Every structure is written in structure tokens, then in C-alpha cells.
Amino acid sequence: MRLRDTIILCVCVLTAAALLIAAGSQLDFINSNRLQMKLISNEPLRNAPPSLAFATVAMGAFRGLVVDVLWMRADRLKQQNQFFDAKQLAEWITILQPRFAQVWEFHAWNMAYNISAAIPATEPHERWRWVKNGYELLRDQGIVLNPKTIALYQELARIFHHKIGSVSDDCHKYYKLQLAEAMEPLIAPADQSHFKALANSPTDLLKVINDPNITGLVTALKSADETFADNDKIVSNYLTLRQNPRKFKPNAFRVINDFRGTATLQKFDIFAKAYQLCNTWKLEPVLMQQLNELYGPADWNDPNKHLPLDWRHPCTHAI
């Protein structure tokens, strides 16, 4: 080999090595950005059989084949009325392919329509459980991982508008009743001033709990019943206490009576409702108020004003 060719070869090898080192030095930066942008989709399965966990790791890029097998297995279980096993497989499929919107869309539709319809109409509570599983899968998981996928919002709206709001299902009245009972405590009194208060309510839980004007109420509730010691559940426990005091110690509801009529209880009550709407139902009080003002029914006393939409109705959720 001539000297000139040897020099060129060495320069090329050194250049390639330098480029590889430079590319490798950017790997940590790229991975951290992928994590921040939630682009990493290889989340490990939880509570999965060892054979499935090994297959998904060992097959790497061929994990789509595993998904196909799981999908066929889930459909077979559904046909055999093994609904809970089918639901578990559906969860694993969505974990394996979290960025594939059609997976979320199909399994939400499958639970809300197919599995629920396979349950006798004499068991409306069981049917309602699967309808809830369907829209909660989209609302709480699918849309969170795919916030810009319009098809998921459309499917979520279809479940509320058609499955719950229509009359095609024999148990549609039961569905409407369950949704109305869940929403009633959060939107009452249903007037524009209440929705404005919800929209203006703070959203930071710790900030509200540590507010000097509310600390007394929170401390009293924690002292009355140890259930309120967990700050993450204090809002849901408070709302349950207002609706069903028997689930808590008698002293807990005495605290409510002691603060009844005060600005402290009123402020915390509004915050709790707004917090529940935002974090559990994924409804933004500010947007709810805007929709009320745009699409609410006209006030007979003043046609220029709009009354709030009925947020107990599934069609309003579809909007």
C-alpha cells in the first residue's frame, strides 16, 4: 500500500473515531430530552408473567409481534366472558405501544361497547363499570400520553354522547343517573357565580392547605379523623364527608358544623370542588365557564345572558 493511501486510511479511521466519540457524548443529553418530552415508550410491564416480560425485552424492536399475540388473546378472552383478564391484557398492550393512538381507541371502545354489552341488562352496575373503564382509559391515560391526537378526544366524546347520552343501550338511564349523581355535588349551586368562583379558585393543594385562613379547618379535620392525615386524599375525603358523614368518625362532621357559614369553609369547599373537577374529571373550570357563556341556554329574563350548561348531562361532557 502506498504511503498516500495509508495516510488517507488513518485520517479516515481517526475522523470516524472522533465522530463516534462526539456522538456518544450527546447520548445523555438526547436521552434526558426524550425523557422530558415523554418520548420514551419502553416502560416495563408491571405484574406481568415472567414469560411476557422476558419476551418484550428479548424481542426488542419486534415487540409489535408480542402486541399482536396479546391482542388476539384479549379478543379470545372477551369472547369467553373473561372480562377482567381481557382488561389486564389491554393494559399491557397500551403499555407496550403507548404512542399508537389506535390501540387506546380500540380498547376503550371495546370495554365501553363490546364488553359492557356482553353483561346482562339485569346487572346495570356491572355494565356501568365497563363503560367507566372505557372512558377513564382514554381520559386518564391515553390522552395524557397522546395529548395532540384528536382521534382520542373524538372517541372520548363519542362514549359520553352516544354510549351514555343516547338511548341505544338498555341501561342508558342508569348510566345517566350515575354520572349525574357524581357531578351534582361538584357543580351545585348551578349558577354562573358558582362557576366563576370555581374558575377563580387556586389550584395548588399545598398552598391552600398552608393558607392561614384555612389551616384551622384542615387541622381540625386531621384531629377529628386520622383519615384526613394524608394530604393527597384530603380533598376526596372532604367531599365524601359532606355527602356521606357515616363513613367517618362523628367528630369529623362536627368540624363542618363548627365552620358552617364561615368564609373559611366556603373557600375550601370551592377549592375542593374545583380541584376534583380538574384532577379527577379532567375538566378545567376556566374552560367550563367559557363554554357556559358561549353555549349555555339563554336566560328568559334577559336574553343577552346565558345560564350554565347542565354538567350532569353526558352531552355536555362530550363538548
Q: 200-241 pLDDT, tens per residue?
A: 999 899 999 989 999 999 999 999 999 999 888 999 999 999
The predicted structure's pLDDT at residue 44: 55
Closest to 142 measured CA to CA, from 313, 248, 282:
282
Q: Assess whether pLDDT exceeds 60 at residue 54.
A: no
Number of separate domains in the chain: 2
Q: In this structure, is residue 81 part of a structural domain?
A: yes
- Which of 133, 148, 181 is the last residue in one of the domains? 181
Are 222 and 169 within one domain?
Answer: no
Q: Assess whether pLDDT exceeds 60 at residue 106.
A: yes
Are 113 and 129 within one domain?
Answer: yes
Handedness of CA 185, 190, 192, 193 (dihedral sign): negative
Are 142 and 217 within one domain?
Answer: no
From CA 101, how far away is CA 134, in angstroms rounded? 14
Are 173 and 206 within one domain?
Answer: no
Contact 222, 229 (CB under 8 A): yes
Work out the mean pLDDT of the chain and round it to a whole number. Answer: 87
Q: How far is CA 223 from CA 208, 230, 254, in A?
A: 18, 12, 12
188-192, 233-237, 261-265: least confidently modelled range: 188-192
Q: Assess whether pLDDT exceeds 70 at residue 53.
A: no
Q: In this structure, is residue 268 part of a structural domain?
A: yes
Which residue type occupies 62? F
- Which of 135, 163, 181 is the last residue in one of the domains? 181
From CA 14, how far away is CA 146, in angstroms rounded? 43
Alpha carbons within 13 angstroms on the beta-carbon side of residue 307 total 11
Q: In this structure, is residue 17 part of a structural domain?
A: no
Q: In this structure, is residue 280 part of a structural domain?
A: yes
Q: Assess whether pLDDT exceeds 80 at residue 64.
A: no
Closest to 269 measured CA to CA, from 208, 206, 210:
208
From CA 199, how far away is CA 196, in angstroms rounded? 5
Q: pLDDT (tens digit, 9 = 90+) per residue, 21-33?
A: 888 888 788 878 7
Are 65 and 102 within one domain?
Answer: yes
Q: Assess whether pLDDT exceeds 70 at residue 154.
A: yes
From CA 90, how far away is CA 103, in angstroms rounded? 9
Kindly report the pTM of this predicted structure.
Answer: 0.77
Residues 6+ apart with CB under 8 A from 5: none
Confidence band for 55, pLDDT divided at 50, 70 and 90: low
Domain of residue 220 covers: 185-314
Confidence band for 289, pLDDT divided at 50, 70 and 90: very high
Q: In this structure, is residue 95 part of a structural domain?
A: yes
Percent of the chain at pLDDT exceeding 70: 92
